[in-house]
Amino acid sequence: MAVGCKSFKMADDGLSVTIRTYPCPECRQDTFFQVSMSDWQRYEDGAFVQVAFPNVSSDMRERLVSGICTKCWDKMF
């Protein structure tokens, strides 16, 4: 399972995955987002997040890598 991922659930069609991230260390909110099964597999196989998820926003990719949500990231930096 991916580092920033608490859980994932495959869609009924088997073509996509809903990812649930760990809670943000600052605000404790968790996030859900959906990716294709092939992108998820690429990430699980070791591809960099920006390569595995080219259609996911940079905010969501950062959330998966560091765990920090966009709102808290903006406050910190």
pLDDT at position 3, please? 60
What is the per-residue pLDDT across 1-46, written as a single tens digit (0 to 9) for each?
566 667 778 887 888 988 888 889 999 998 888 899 999 899 989 9
* 36 close to 43: Cβ distance less than 8 angstroms: no
Rounded to two decimals, what is the model's pTM?
A: 0.77
CA gap 35, 14 in Å, rounded: 11
What is the per-residue pLDDT across 40-66, written as a single tens digit (0 to 9) for each?
899 989 999 999 999 999 999 988 888
Domain ranges, ordered by start, for the chain: 5-76
pLDDT at position 48, please? 94
